[in-house]
């Protein structure tokens, strides 16, 4: 009897192990693997940091490999090369989807982080005439500089443009080598620590609501037809963004921990954006507002010489999927 019982228990254990193995395999098959790019600032990282901290990837059937980048154009190159599926880009890189490279799947935030700054004593845009001005070419800082100059009746020809990357601008401005710059937070905050009385001559907010500066999430053209995958990623994005909107301090803390940096600069950046809820973004999408923002930016890229014939937003923003 004891032998029979042992055999029964052994068979039961075997069946249980097989069942568990099959369940694990089935779960693994259901998980969709994706490669997601992000940039190491608050709005470039907070979504992926929150999604990771709160387990949102697995909750929505995703196994996400996260890859860090320094800017949007490099991520688009990675998308086109097949080494990345999804990415975060700032408004300065939106000319790439507008030119047919990648598709926008969701809006992240409407940033107010960009500034035109000037050395103490320069009170307005006219004060930059003939001065050396640092500009990271093709970025949102570049865009804001051009818009602010246009509003003041000036063009880029009225200033001495010095093309620089953001970190070089910090050093050059702090040491007085340039008189102004088109740059963004948290770099502005870093510069302020050296020159607290610098002038902030213009901000993205000066041009809202006619022009918005949305940062976005994009998908490679190769994956842009996979509606099921995109809907899963959108579900993660929506939940993470709503958490970020409703829990500012915790969102900053999670992002700082994820990046291994102090919270202070991230918190300064975190408040410099308009953050509609995912429901509001869905409504703005259905109303055509998001398309209007993207079309307006595309026209600006044309004026700036970045692209000749931009696509209409309806062809590079997958709004119908987002609004589901």
Query: pLDDT tens-digit profile of 89-147?
Result: 988 889 999 999 999 999 999 988 899 999 999 999 999 999 999 999 877 898 899 99
CA angle 202/206/211 to nearest 5° reads 120
What is the DSSP track for 35-101?
EEEEESSHHHHHHHHHHHHTTHHHHTTEEEEEEEESSHHHHHHHHHHTS-SEEEE-GGGTHHHHTTS
Query: For residues 154 and 23, which has the higher predicted lDDT (pLDDT)?
Result: 154
Kindly report the pTM of this predicted structure. Answer: 0.76
Q: Higher pLDDT residue, 226 or 23?
A: 226
Provide the pLDDT for residue 29: 52
b/e per residue 281-297 (b: at least 16 CB within 10 A): bbebbeeebbbbbbbeb
pLDDT digits 0-9 by tens, 223-274: 999 999 999 999 999 999 999 999 999 999 999 999 999 999 899 889 988 8
- Summarised one tens digit per residue, pLDDT across range 151-192 is 999 999 999 999 999 999 999 999 999 999 999 888 998 999
Average pLDDT over residues 70-91: 94
Burial, 8: exposed, middle or buried (Cβ in 10 Å; 0-12, 13-18, 19+)? exposed
| Domains of the chain (ranges, CATH numbers) | 33-111+213-322 (3.40.190.10), 114-207 (3.40.190.10)
Q: How confident is the model at residue 15 (pLDDT cuts 50, 70, 90)?
A: very low
The pLDDT of residue 185: 83
pLDDT at 35 over 50: yes
- Tell whether the model's pLDDT for residue 218 goes beyond 80: yes
């Amino acid at each position: 009897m004891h032998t029979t019982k042992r055999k029964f228990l052994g068979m039961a254990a075997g069946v249980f192990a097989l069942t568990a193995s099959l369940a694990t395999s089935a779960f693994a098959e259901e998980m969709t693997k994706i490669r997601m790019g992000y940039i190491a600032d608050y709005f470039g990282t907070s979504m992926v940091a929150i999604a990771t901290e709160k387990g949102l990837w697995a909750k929505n059937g995703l196994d996400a490999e996260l890859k860090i980048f320094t800017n949007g154009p490099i991520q688009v190159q990675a998308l086109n090369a097949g080494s990345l599926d999804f990415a975060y880009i700032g408004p300065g890189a939106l000319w790439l989807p507008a030119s047919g490279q990648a598709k926008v799947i969701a809006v992240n935030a409407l940033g107010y982080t960009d500034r035109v700054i000037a050395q103490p004593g320069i009170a307005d845009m006219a004060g930059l005439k003939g001065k050396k001005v640092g500009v990271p070419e093709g970025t949102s800082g570049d865009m804001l500089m051009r818009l602010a100059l246009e509003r003041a009746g000036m063009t880029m020809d009225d200033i001495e443009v010095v093309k620089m990357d953001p970190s070089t601008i910090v050093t050059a401005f702090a040491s007085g080598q340039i008189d102004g710059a088109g740059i963004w937070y948290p770099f502005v905050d870093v510069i302020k620590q050296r020159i607290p009385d610098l002038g902030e001559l213009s901000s993205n907010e000066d041009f809202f609501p006619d022009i918005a500066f949305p940062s976005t999430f994009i998908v490679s053209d190769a994956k842009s037809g996979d509606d099921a995958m995109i809907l899963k990623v959108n579900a993660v994005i929506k939940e993470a963004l709503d958490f970020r909107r409703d829990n500012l301090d915790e969102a900053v803390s999670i992002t700082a921990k994820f990046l291994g940096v102090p919270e202070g600069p991230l918190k300064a950046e975190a408040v410099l954006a308009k953050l509609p809820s995912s429901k509001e973004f869905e409504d703005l999408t259905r109303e055509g507002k998001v398309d209007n923002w993207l079309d307006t930016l595309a026209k600006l890229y044309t004026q700036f010489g970045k692209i000749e014939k931009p696509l209409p937003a309806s062809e590079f923003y997958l709004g119908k999927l987002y609004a589901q």
